[in-house]
Amino acid sequence: MKRTLSIFLILLTAVSFAAGCKTPVTPDDPPVVDIYTPVPFATPVPTPEVTQPATQFSDPPATDTPEPTATPYQADPTVFDDAAFIGNSILHGLYSYGILTHGKFFTKTSLNVNSVFTSYLDGSSVPVIDELNGGRYGKVILCFGTNELGWPSLDTFSEKYGKLIDAIRQRQPGCKIYVLEVLPVSKAKSDKNENGINIENVRRINEVIRTLCAEKDVTLIKVPESFYDADGYLPADASSDGVHPKLDYYRVWAEHICLWVMGVRQ
């Protein structure tokens, strides 16, 4: 009997030991994964988009949209490579200051639309107008009118200027002719009224020049806006004598003429 009980106890102990070595499995346990088997990426659960209420402004601030900045045109002085400049001392300043070094300058102090046929440049043996015979020019740029402000007749000025344009076309067929408006004078210079140099005469002669350009089918180049003060005079700080521009204004004028000849400004 004792032997039978001992055997039973031994068997019971063995069964209990075997049962204790097995880990119970519950439905919540993750499945066993082989470390050599790639785990597929789980499909992410989309997060619902939460719409925030818009902030309310009693007076919404205006959004300033900047104006597009225009690309400035670059003045190219090589446009004057085939140009001839003919005119008075005002035009000569572009050359004497070294601002324009392209093209040919046939300019002289006191030159006017009449003396251009009889006056000679220093060291030359032909009248200024005939200097054009020495080369081939695609463009001719004229600057006259200041020395003619005291002339008694604007009709005479127009007639002589027209004759000059015709003479240029005879010597340079097919060239494009540009005529510069007369620059304004300062108030101090205008008030002196020496030799007819005053702002009213400048305005009148420029009207004649505009009409002549239309009649002769030549290109008018207007005066830059910066050459006028609030009253229409040349600014007091723009010239030492009230007529000839200072260096900074000459630079502005040169760029203005260049852009006009390039066809950018008109």
Residue 118, burial from CB neighbour count under 10 angstroms (0-12, 13-18, 19+): exposed
The answer on pLDDT for 150 being more than 70 is: yes
Confidence of residue 134 (pLDDT cuts 50, 70, 90): very high
Neighbours of 45 (CB within 10 A): 6
**Average pLDDT of the segment spanning 63-80:** 65
Lowest mean pLDDT among 65-69, 127-131, 173-177, 179-183: 65-69
For the entire predicted model, the pTM comes to 0.73
Domains and CATH numbers, the chain: 77-262 (3.40.50.1110)
Q: Classify the C-alpha dihedral 202-208-210-213 as positive or negative.
A: negative
Residue with tokens 């003429």: 257
Q: What is the pLDDT of residue 59?
A: 40
Confidence of residue 264 (pLDDT cuts 50, 70, 90): confident
- Whole-angstrom CA distances from 58 to 17, 64, 100 are 79, 18, 60
Q: What is the mean pLDDT of the chain?
A: 82
